Amino acid sequence: MPGPASPAPQRILVATDRSASADQAVRWAAELADRCAADLVVFQVILPHAGDSASDGQNEAALGDASHNLRVFAQDVAGVRGHARVVVDADPASAILEAVDAERAAVPSSSSTRYATIR
């Protein structure tokens, strides 16, 4: 017998690398967020450019472009509840966990009907 249902999340975070399969996962998360009346945070980690002093400018340019594109995508799939966040980080897994904590968001799993907040 199943236990008590988890309360619906208020924010759902989904990470993306902007591949076709990741964009499909974002759309799935947007549908879930809509059913829960939750905000959707679409999160992307960009690996830093390594090298000379020009790399800081490259990182900023990449961050600006990715932020704009992700914001448009998030609002396209989730409307006014769609939010985008892009960071430059050498450790994507840690960056995602930090974002989940900072956003106080649930991270859905396609293999489960329950939600978990990772802290």
pLDDT in tens, 9-28: 899 999 999 999 999 999 99
3-state helix, strand, coil in the chain (%, to 5): 50, 25, 30
**Smallest Cα–Cα separation from 104: which of 114, 117, 93, 115?**
117
- Residue whose structure tokens are 């990741």: 22
- The per-residue pLDDT for 60 is 81
3-class DSSP assignment, residue 12: strand
pLDDT of residue 55: 63
pLDDT given at position 110? 52
Name the pTM for this structure: 0.81
DSSP classification of residue 90: S
Structure confidence at residue 62 (pLDDT): 79
Point out the residues of the chain with pLDDT beneath 70. 1-5, 51-56, 109-119
> Percentage of the chain surpassing pLDDT 90?
66
